[in-house]
Amino acid sequence: MSKQRTKLVVGNWKMHGRLADNAVLLEAVAQGAGALPANVRVGVCVPSPYLAQTQALLDGSRVEWGVQDVSAYTHGAYTGEVAAPMALDFGSRLAIVGHSERRAYHRESAELVAVKTQRVLEAGLTPIVCVGETLEEREAGKTQQVVGVQLDTVLAKLSAQESARIIVAYEPIWAIGTGKSATAQQAQDVHAFLRARLAAKSAAAADVALLYGGSVKPDNAEELFRQPDIDGGLIGGASLKDKDFLAICKAAGAVGALSVKQ
């Protein structure tokens, strides 16, 4: 039987939200999270301009927050960039790096994602390193090769201790925003592969949280989270609806509680 880990559910708002809507959503999530069992950790990654608002509304709640990307630099003449220490100034604890939308639309290489991961760790935040394959790559039988290189490129730049401080999110590109989630078995297979790669880096890294992302909804969350190597989810669309997001968090709590009893 796998080791029981705390379940973690993180919302990735992407480029959504305005002040008034955010206030309603954040207050509902903060309140709902208060009723979740202790074995669930909840977070939201918001657009950077709303960090101050997020901090004001979530401070003192169970919900952590953070950003969706950081610069590969700590400061300097990099117009438009947001540095990890800036996110820290607003109480962030999490920073997504290497989301497939950034790799695709901003041409972020595996090496750049690795450097960003280092910047996040140096700032004292937890990086959520995203990996995932396209449909074409999956159909060509290249899933392990693709996600293996994405993860190994990051791990190569980290010490054994640093590698134990990351979170990894497996997000198959064909499942993002499509309504077509990976099956629980498909996701579990890739997670087990990623876990083995992490274990090869260091014993401590084998225990990092592995999140699944891609069309997670209240009705498929529990089955996904029940898999031994799926420690939670990175939630896009459903994180914008408080009821759906909280239902997914609740599913994580139910699964966690079940496993504790086993």
Interface ranges with ligand 13P (CB under 6 A): 12, 99, 171, 176-177, 213-216, 234-238
Q: Is the CB of 94 or the CB of 254 nearer to ligand 13P?
A: 94
Q: How far apart are the first and last CA of the chain?
A: 9
Nearer to ligand 13P, 42 or 176 (CB): 176
Query: Is the Cβ of residue 51 or residue 221 nearer to ligand 13P in the bound state?
Result: 221
**Where on the phi/psi map is residue 40: left (φ > 0), alpha (ψ -120 to 50), or beta?**
beta
Q: Which contiguous run of DSSP H or E holds residue 7?
A: strand 7-12
**Burial of 85 by CB count in 10 Å (0-12 exposed, 13-18 middle, 19+ buried)?**
middle
Residue nearest to ligand 13P (CB): 236
Distance in Å, CB of 214 to ligand 13P, minimum: 5
Phi first, then psi: give them for residue 210, nearest 5 degrees: -115, 115
Amino acid (one-letter) located at 227: Q
Instruction: Give Cα 129 distance to the centre of its chain.
Output: 7
If the CB atoms of residues 234 and 255 are measured against ligand 13P, the closer one turns out to be: 234
Question: What residue type is 2 in one-letter code?
Answer: S
Report how far residue 43's alpha carbon sits from residue 51's, in angstroms, rounded to the nearest whole number: 13
Q: For residues 185 and 137, what is the distance between their CA atoms, to the nearest angstrom? A: 18
Could you give the residue numbers annotated as active site?
A: 99, 171
Report how far residue 157's alpha carbon sits from residue 179's, in angstroms, rounded to the nearest whole number. 35
Closest approach of ligand 13P to the CB of residue 216, in Å: 6
Shortest Å, Cβ 131 to ligand 13P: 12
The minimum distance between CB 103 and ligand 13P, in angstroms, equals 12
Nearer to ligand 13P, 9 or 176 (CB): 176
Pairing of strands 7-12, 126-131: unpaired
